[in-house]
Amino acid sequence: MTQQPVPDTACDAELDAVGLACPMPLLKAKLELNRLASGQVLMVTATDPGSQRDFRSFAKLAGHTLLREEAGEGLYRYWFRKA
């Protein structure tokens, strides 16, 4: 997994998955990515610690690029570039 620097504001859509448990953050992210055009960036905020494993695997399997991920203070943020 290659991560590239992305400014915090460099996203085309944001998804708030705070408070949702597995598998809901992943399902909502998949639906949101389906709405975006190829090359656009989705930023997801989640609180489920399992989202780290889930989103890494999802990006690899679906062909999307996980540009960046951050974890801190119980929040997990991910930036995906749609394939």
> Is 11 a catalytic site residue?
no
Active-site entry in 6, 22, 24, 36: 22
> 6: burial class by Cβ within 10 Å (0-12, 13-18, 19+)?
middle
CA gap 29, 18 in Å, rounded? 12
Q: Which residues are catalytic?
A: 22
